[in-house]
């Protein structure tokens, strides 16, 4: 039954020694003890013109009600990052993020957040502010006054991985700093967190975000954030009409602890139609014989490369070519001895596919 749920969500959402260069980024700071936070991303609220990015008002209210009924603390992303590393005891914690800054958030989403006294983080791309369906600066000031954190989503919301390599990182940093300056000018706030447009980035881009002083950066691969992995590729479960009914399953999901990842890059290897991903897992408490892998658009093979007392190296590979897709997720799940499910996903990006 759980496999069917996991596979359903995966299909819906899919919009041996290793050297140090292949290891994940270190987290922001050393944690006192292990903690996790489940993070969600929404876009539009009660706007059924765009079902792929919309959540109904009733479903969104049901999500918030479930979090309240189950005693979750709901934080904005900056506060959640602080929580991961402070001395406070572990507590069920969720983060609600909203991308792009559509008017339907102010009209339909924000009143419900205020009703439950929940905060959230709204990521805005400043070039579109005030245009079409996007909130204007006056409306964004109202949003800020109602307990919502503003995050940086760049100025242009461009496909930066399609820019020439010799100008990509200059353009990216300029775009981010322009958005930062405009947000400061119009809202008098300095965003502390960032979200990559389309969830696409590479290592130099995440390094730039860290060097600019951001606490963390949100991606668009599904999973659970924790204080063992990089704060500059934070996973988020997408929420829209297609997977609104899966909210409770995702909220209960725990992180599959990945100690190493190779390659530690989101760029799909040009020369490989079926790229291989190696993961070193912390297997404590996991039922490793029930590990399951999924590859967007088809099946996935899972091979055990090496095992030790508390670790296992596994190899994931799609059974089909992914070279015709721009974005492809590899996902790995497993239950633990208490019956809780753990989740990890890796996003491959092929910029040659427009």
* pLDDT given for residue 351 in this prediction: 95
Say yes or no: domain 259-349 is CATH 2.60.40: yes
209 — phi, psi (to 5°)? -60, -40
CA within 13 Å, CB half, 248: 10
Return the domain boundaries, the chain: 31-252, 259-349
* pLDDT given for residue 31 in this prediction: 59
Q: What is the pLDDT along the chain (354 residues), one digit of tens a residue?
A: 444 444 444 444 444 333 333 333 444 455 568 999 999 999 999 999 999 999 999 999 999 999 999 999 999 999 999 999 999 999 999 999 999 999 999 999 999 999 999 999 999 999 999 999 999 999 999 999 999 999 999 999 999 999 999 999 999 999 999 999 999 999 999 999 999 999 999 999 999 999 999 999 999 999 999 999 999 999 999 999 999 999 999 999 999 999 999 999 999 998 889 999 999 999 999 999 999 999 998 999 999 999 999 999 999 999 999 999 999 999 999 999 999 999 999 999 999 998
- Topology annotation, domain 31-252: TIM Barrel (3.20.20)
Spatial separation of the C-alpha atoms in residues 216 and 191, rounded to whole Å = 11
* pLDDT given for residue 30 in this prediction: 53
Q: Do 31-252 and 259-349 agree at the fold level?
A: no
226 — phi, psi (to 5°)? -155, 180
How distant, in Å, are the alpha carbons of 75, 199, 241, 247 from that of 52?
Answer: 25, 16, 7, 16
Pull the structure tokens for residue 100.
């792009």
Q: Are 280 and 264 in contact (CB under 8 A)?
A: no
């Amino acid at each position: 039954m759980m496999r069917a749920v996991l596979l359903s969500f995966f299909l819906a959402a899919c919009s041996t020694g290793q050297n140090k260069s292949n290891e994940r980024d270190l987290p922001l700071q050393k944690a006192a003890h292990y903690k996790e936070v489940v993070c969600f991303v929404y876009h539009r609220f009660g706007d059924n013109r765009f079902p792929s990015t919309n959540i109904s008002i009733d479903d969104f209210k049901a999500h918030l009600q479930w979090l309240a009924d189950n005693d979750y603390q709901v934080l904005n992303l900056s506060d959640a990052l602080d929580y991961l590393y402070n001395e406070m005891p572990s507590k069920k914690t969720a983060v609600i993020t909203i991308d792009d800054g559509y008017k339907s958030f102010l009209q339909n989403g924000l009143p419900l957040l205020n009703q439950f006294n929940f905060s959230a983080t709204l990521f805005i791309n400043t070039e579109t502010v005030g245009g079409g369906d996007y909130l204007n600066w006056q409306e964004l000031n109202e949003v800020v006054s109602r307990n919502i954190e503003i995050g940086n989503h760049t100025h242009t919301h461009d496909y930066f991985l399609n820019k020439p390599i010799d100008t990509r990182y200059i353009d990216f940093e300029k775009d981010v700093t322009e958005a930062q300056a405009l947000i400061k000018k119009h809202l008098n706030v300095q965003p502390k967190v960032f979200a990559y447009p389309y969830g696409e980035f590479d290592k130099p881009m995440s390094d730039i975000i860290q060097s600019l002083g951001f606490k963390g950066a949100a991606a668009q691969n599904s999973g659970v954030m924790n204080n063992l992995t990089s704060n500059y590729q934070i996973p988020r479960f997408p929420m829209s009409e297609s997977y609104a009914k899966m909210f409770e399953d995702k909220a209960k999901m725990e992180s599959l602890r990945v100690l190493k990842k190779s390659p530690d890059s989101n760029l799909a290897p040009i020369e490989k139609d079926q790229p291989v991903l190696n993961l070193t897992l912390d297997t404590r408490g996991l039922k490793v014989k029930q590990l399951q892998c999924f590859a967007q658009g088809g099946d996935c093979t899972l091979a055990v490369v090496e095992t030790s007392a508390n670790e296992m190296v596994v190899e994931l590979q799609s059974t089909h070519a992914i070279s015709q897709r721009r974005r492809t997720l590899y996902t790995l799940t497993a239950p633990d001895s208490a019956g809780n499910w753990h989740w990890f996903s890796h996003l491959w990006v092929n910029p040659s596919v427009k």
